[in-house]
Amino acid sequence: MLLRLSAIAVMSALIAITTAQSLTELVGLGHFNESQRKYCEYKADEKPDCETCVAKGSECFYCGGTVDRCLPYAWYFPGCELSDVRHNKCWVNISAVVIVISVIAGILLVIFTSCLCYCCCRCRAYRQAQAKKQAEKFNFQQELRRAEMQNRHSLRTKQREQELESYRIKYGLPTRMSPDGNPI
């Protein structure tokens, strides 16, 4: 029983300490001047809720949960859990906004990466097709030149043989004969 009473006393002391925390402790290391702190504090005639805090403008944010205060805003939310923060709109949960923006950024990154890979692969396939086309064209031209050279070579060979044969006939030399008796 005594243990239970001491635990209750400790709990009530902790609650008293946390409710007695000053605004400077919640704000953090004192990054804000006194006018910013005073501007965001609730006045005596104001209702201490999210709508009142958010109505003060973008210089303040509402910290719900256990803190339940209107605090000065910096680029971060000092002294408040991200899930309890309300800034500019009371119905917008900042942690949900962070998650949604992260998901959208991830999707855009995946789309960008996919497009980049597609374009690179398409360019590579295009280059390979162009190289194959150029190689086929080169091979075709080589075959044409080779056939042309063989034609010229066979034509010159026949011309030389005809000249040689005409000299043999002119000077009465024996002509070349094939085994069946026809001139070669």
Both tokens assigned to 72:
């000065």
pLDDT of residue 3: 47
pLDDT of residue 169: 87
Sheet with 60-63, edge to edge strand ranges: 69-72, 60-63, 85-86
pLDDT of residue 23: 44
Q: pLDDT, tens digit, for every residue of 83-113?
A: 888 888 888 888 888 899 999 999 999 999 9
pLDDT of residue 148: 96
Contact 18, 68 (CB under 8 A): no
Residues of the chain with pLDDT under 70: 1-33, 176-184
